[in-house]
Chains A and B, each alone.
Chain A
Amino acid sequence: MGAEILYGFKVATTPENLVFCFIGVLLGTLVGVLPGIGPAGAMALLLPISLKITPLGTFIMLAGIYYGSMYGGSTTSILVSIPGEPASVMTCIDGYQMALKGRAGPALGISAIGSFIAGTISVIGLMVFALPLAKGALKFGPPEFFCLVLMGLTLVTYLSQKSAEKAFMSALIGMLLSWVGIDLINGQSRFTFGIMELNDGVGVIPLVMGLFGISEVFMELEKDERIEVIKTKIKNLLPDREDWRQCTGPILRCSVLGFLLGIIPGGGGIIANFMAYIMEKRLSKHPERFGTGEIVGVAAPESANNAAAGGALIPLLSLGIPMNATVALLFAALLIHGVRPGPLLIQEHPDIFWGIIASMYIGNVLLLVLNLPLIGLWVKVLKLPYRIIFPMVLLFCLIGAYAINLSTLDLKLMLGFGVLGYLMRKFDFDTAPLVLAFILGPMMEVSMRQALLLSQGSFSIFFTRPLSAACLGIAALLLLANLIPFLKQRRKKLEEIQIKE
C-alpha cells in the first residue's frame, strides 16, 4: 500500500491539483462559515466549471468543499450560536457558552485540531477499508446492487430529519424524475413531451442547483435576520494542557464513531455530530457541565462530523453507491467526466483513487492552516450582508446551469426545481432523498430489470442470494420500525374510543 500512497501523493501534489485542493477547502470553509449556503449548493455551483478541469482535479476540489465545510461550520456555531452547517448543530451548545465566557479562542482551536485529527483518522480508515470492500464488490451482481440501493434509500428515508413517509415520497419523486428520457435498455422515450433536449434526461446540475442553491436563497429571503457576532477578543487559540487532557480521549473515540456513522446510508455529519455529543455526555464524569461551556462538548461533535465526511466516501469509492445527497454530487461529478466510481475504480483509475486519498491528507493540513491563523477573516465573512451574497448565488446558479449545454431549457428546469425545493421545504418534505434517489434511480432500474431477466421473471433471485436477502431484510425491518409508532398510535386511539363508548 505504501507504493500506492506515494503514487497518490505524486498525482495530488502537481501544482494544478494543489490549487484545486486549496480552492476546494477555502470554499468549503467559506460555505461552512456562512449559514444557509451548504456544501451541496456550493458543489452544485462549481459542477459546470469543473467540466473544464480533469476528473481528479474536480473530485479533489469538490471533496475539499465537502470536508472543508465541516471545519467552517464550527466557527459560526461558536461565535453566533447558529450552526453554519446542519452537521455543527451540537457544537453551538457548548461552543457559544465558551465564547460567552471569553474562551472563544480555545473553542475554535480545539474544534480545528479535533477536526484535523478526525479527518486524518478517517482518511486512514478510508484507505484500509475501501480496498477490501471494492474487491468484495466485484462479485456483486444486479440483484445485490438493486437491494443495496433499496436498503440505502430506505435508511435515508428512515433517518430523515422530517417525516419518514414524506421522505419516502420525496425519494419516489426523485426516482421518477431520473427515468425521464431514453430508456437505457430498449431505447424508448419516456416523459419527454416531444422536447428533444429531454431525451438525455433531466440534468443533475439544474436539479441540484435548483433544489439546493435557488431554493435555499428563497428560504432565506423570507426572513429578515441580521447575524450578530459575539463581541469578544479571540485569543489563545491553542488549547492548554488541561484542555488536552480532557479532549484527547473524546476526540479519538468520536473520530471512530463518526467514521463508522459516515459509512451507513443517510448517516453523515449530522447524525455523527448528535451521537458524539450524546455519547460523551453519557461517558463524562460531569455530565452536568455539558451545556455550560464544556470543551469536550465542542471537541467531540466536531471530530465526529469530520470523520463522517471521510467515512461517507467508502461506499462511493468501493461500491459506487453514494450514501448521502452531498456525496451523490461527487458521484455525479465523476459520472459527468465519464468516470464511474465503484469496484473497478481502483483498477481502472488508480490515479483518481489514490490521488483523492492523498489530497485529503493535504486538504486536512491546509484546513488547519486556514482555520487557525485566518480566524479573523472568517469572522469578517460572517458579517457580510446577505443582500450582496444572495444575488451573487442566484447569478452563479444561472450561469452554471446555462454553461452545461448553453440551453435555456436547463435554466427553466433549474428555476422550476428551485420553486419545487422551496415548496418542499415549506411543506416539510426533505429534499435530500429526492436528490439521492435521482442519482441512484437509473442504477436501480437497470439492475432490477437485469436481475429479473437473469431469473426469468422470478423475484426469488432477490431472496435466495445472501447479500441481497440481508439488504432486503434490513430494508423491511426499517419499514416496520416506521410502522410501529403509527400502529401504536392507532391502537391508543381505538382504546380511547372504546373507553368513551
Chain B
Amino acid sequence: MGLRRVNGWISKKDADLWTGLFLMVLSGAIIREAIDLEVGNPSNPGSGFMILGASAVLGLLALHQFIKSLRSFKHKQGAAAEEIHWGRIVAVVSANALYIFLLQLLGYLVCTFLFLSFCFQVLERGRWIPRVIGSALTTFITYLLFARLLQLNLPKGVVPFF
C-alpha cells in the first residue's frame, strides 16, 4: 500500500485508507482503556461507559471508511492541487517546537527575537537587517504589552534584569 502523490499531496484514496486505519487502531486502544477504567452498567454507568460507546462508534466509522477506500479504484486528487511549500511548513513547525523547548531556558526576550527573525527570513528571503530590527522591535513591544501592561509572568531566562 504505497502512497501515490498527486500534485504534491497523497491521493484521496490513500488519505482515506490511512486515516481509516489509524482511527481504527486508535479506537481499539481507547476501547481497551475504557474497559480498564470500568464501564459499569446502564443503571450505574462507570467512568468508561461513554468512552466505550464513543470509541466503538468511531471504530466502526473508521472501519467503514477503510473498507470503502479499499474498494475504490480511483486515485482522485487530494485536497491541495497546487505545489505545496513543505520546507516552509517543516521549518515553522520546528521553530515552534524549539521555541517551546527553549522558552524557560533562554527566556521570552531571546526566544521571541530568534523565533521572529527565523520566521520572517523563512517566509521571505532578502535583506536581513530590516528583519532583525523588525524582530527586535516586535519582541520589545509585545514584552511591554504582555509583561508590563497585562502583568503576564513571562520567563526571564538569560536576561534576568527585565
Known contacts: A222-B80, A408-B103. The answer to whether A403 contacts B146 by CB under 8 A is yes
* A327 on interface, CB distance cutoff 8 Å: no
* B84 on interface, CB distance cutoff 8 Å: yes
Complex contact B51–A176 (CB within 8 A) = yes
* B144 on interface, CB distance cutoff 8 Å: no
Q: Number of contact residues on A: which range applies?
A: 35 or more
Contacting chain B: which of A7-15, A64-72, A81-89, A165-173? A165-173
Complex contact B42–A169 (CB within 8 A) = no
> Which residues, 379 to 394 on A, are CB-close (under 8 Å) to B?
385-388, 390-392, 394
* B3 on interface, CB distance cutoff 8 Å: no
Q: 7 pairs across A/B with beta carbons < 8 Å?
A: A49-B150, A169-B61, A190-B48, A222-B89, A398-B96, A422-B89, A427-B79
* Proximity bits, A165-189, B CB within 8 Å = 1, else 0: 1101100110110010001011010
Q: Give the distance in Å from the alpha carbon of A169 to the alpha carbon of B37 in the complex.
A: 22
Interface residues in chain B, defined as those with a beta carbon under 8 Å from any beta carbon in chain A? 9, 12, 15-16, 19, 23, 30, 33, 37-38, 41-51, 54-55, 57-58, 61-62, 64-65, 78-80, 82, 84-86, 88-89, 92-93, 96-97, 99-100, 103-104, 112, 115-116, 119-120, 123-124, 134, 138, 142, 146, 150-154
B118–chain A nearest beta-carbon distance, Å:
9
Q: Which chain A residues lie closer than 8 Å to B150 at the CB level? A: 49, 52
Q: Which chain A residues lie closer than 8 Å to B54 at the CB level? A: 172, 175-176
Complex contact A188–B9 (CB within 8 A) = no
Contacting chain B: which of A19-27, A246-254, A452-460? A452-460
Q: Which chain B residues lie closer than 8 Å to A422 at the CB level? A: 89
Complex contact A394–B96 (CB within 8 A) = yes
Complex contact B19–A427 (CB within 8 A) = yes
Q: Which chain A residues lie closer than 8 Å to B100 at the CB level? A: 398, 408, 411-412, 415
14 A-B pairs besides A165-B64, A175-B54 with CB distance below 8 A are A190-B37, A190-B48, A222-B80, A224-B85, A394-B92, A395-B142, A398-B99, A406-B153, A426-B15, A445-B50, A449-B50, A453-B43, A457-B44, A458-B42
Interface residues in chain A, defined as those with a beta carbon under 8 Å from any beta carbon in chain B? 49, 52, 165-166, 168-169, 172-173, 175-176, 179, 183, 185-186, 188, 190-191, 214, 217-218, 221-224, 385-388, 390-392, 394-395, 398-399, 402-403, 406, 408, 411-412, 415, 418-419, 422, 425-429, 444-445, 448-449, 452-453, 456-459
Known contacts: A394-B92, A394-B96. The answer to whether A402 contacts B85 by CB under 8 A is no
Q: Give the distance in Å from the alpha carbon of A394 to the alpha carbon of B115 in the complex.
A: 10
Complex contact B47–A183 (CB within 8 A) = yes
Complex contact A390–B119 (CB within 8 A) = yes
Q: Give the distance in Å from the alpha carbon of A222 to the alpha carbon of B89 in the complex.
A: 7
Complex contact A452–B103 (CB within 8 A) = no
Q: Which residue of B lies closest to A425 (CB)?
A: B79
Complex contact A391–B123 (CB within 8 A) = yes
Known contacts: A165-B64, A169-B23, A427-B79. The answer to whether A457 contacts B123 by CB under 8 A is no
Q: Which among B80, B96, B146 is the interface contact of A399 at CB below 8 angstroms?
A: B146
Q: Which chain B residues lie closer than 8 Å to A183 at the CB level? A: 47
Complex contact A391–B119 (CB within 8 A) = yes
Count chain B CB atoms within 10 A of each CB in A221, A415, A422, A428 and give the residue with the most. Answer: A221
Q: Is the interface of A mostly helix, strand, loop or mixed?
A: helix
Q: Which chain B residues lie closer than 8 Å to A399 at the CB level? A: 142, 146, 152, 154
Complex contact B153–A222 (CB within 8 A) = no
Q: Which chain A residues lie closer than 8 Å to B9 at the CB level? A: 426
Q: Which chain A residues lie closer than 8 Å to B47 at the CB level? A: 183, 185-186, 188, 190
The 8 closest A-B pairs by CB, nearest first: A457-B43, A457-B42, A391-B119, A387-B123, A222-B84, A387-B124, A172-B58, A183-B47
Q: Which chain B residues lie closer than 8 Å to A223 at the CB level? A: 82, 85
Q: Which among A218, A394, A395, A453 is the interface contact of B89 at CB below 8 angstroms?
A: A218
A422–chain B nearest beta-carbon distance, Å:
8
Q: Which among A185, A191, A402, A419 is the interface contact of B93 at CB below 8 angstroms?
A: A419
Complex contact A168–B61 (CB within 8 A) = yes
Complex contact A415–B92 (CB within 8 A) = no
Q: Which chain A residues lie closer than 8 Å to B112 at the CB level? A: 395
Q: Which among A169, A179, A456, A458 is the interface contact of B50 at CB below 8 angstroms?
A: A179
Known contacts: A427-B19, A449-B49. The answer to whether A222 contacts B88 by CB under 8 A is yes
Complex contact A453–B44 (CB within 8 A) = yes
B38–chain A nearest beta-carbon distance, Å:
8
Q: Give the distance in Å from the alpha carbon of A452 to the alpha carbon of B43 in the complex.
A: 6
A121–chain B nearest beta-carbon distance, Å:
37
A107–chain B nearest beta-carbon distance, Å:
29
Q: Which chain A residues lie closer than 8 Å to B153 at the CB level? A: 406
Q: Which among B103, B120, B151 is the interface contact of A411 at CB below 8 angstroms?
A: B103
Q: Give the distance in Å from the alpha carbon of A7 to the alpha carbon of B134 in the complex.
A: 47
Q: Which chain B residues lie closer than 8 Å to A456 at the CB level? A: 43
B138–chain A nearest beta-carbon distance, Å:
7
Q: Which chain B residues lie closer than 8 Å to A168 at the CB level? A: 57, 61
Q: Which residue of A lies closest to B16 (CB)?
A: A427
Q: Which chain B residues lie closer than 8 Å to A224 at the CB level? A: 85
Q: Which chain A residues lie closer than 8 Å to B79 at the CB level? A: 425-428
Q: Which chain B residues lie closer than 8 Å to A166 at the CB level? A: 65
Q: Give the distance in Å from the alpha carbon of A171 to the alpha carbon of B86 in the complex.
A: 28
Q: Give the distance in Å from the alpha carbon of A419 to the alpha carbon of B38 in the complex.
A: 32
Complex contact A218–B15 (CB within 8 A) = no
B96–chain A nearest beta-carbon distance, Å:
5
Q: Which chain A residues lie closer than 8 Å to B61 at the CB level? A: 165, 168-169, 172
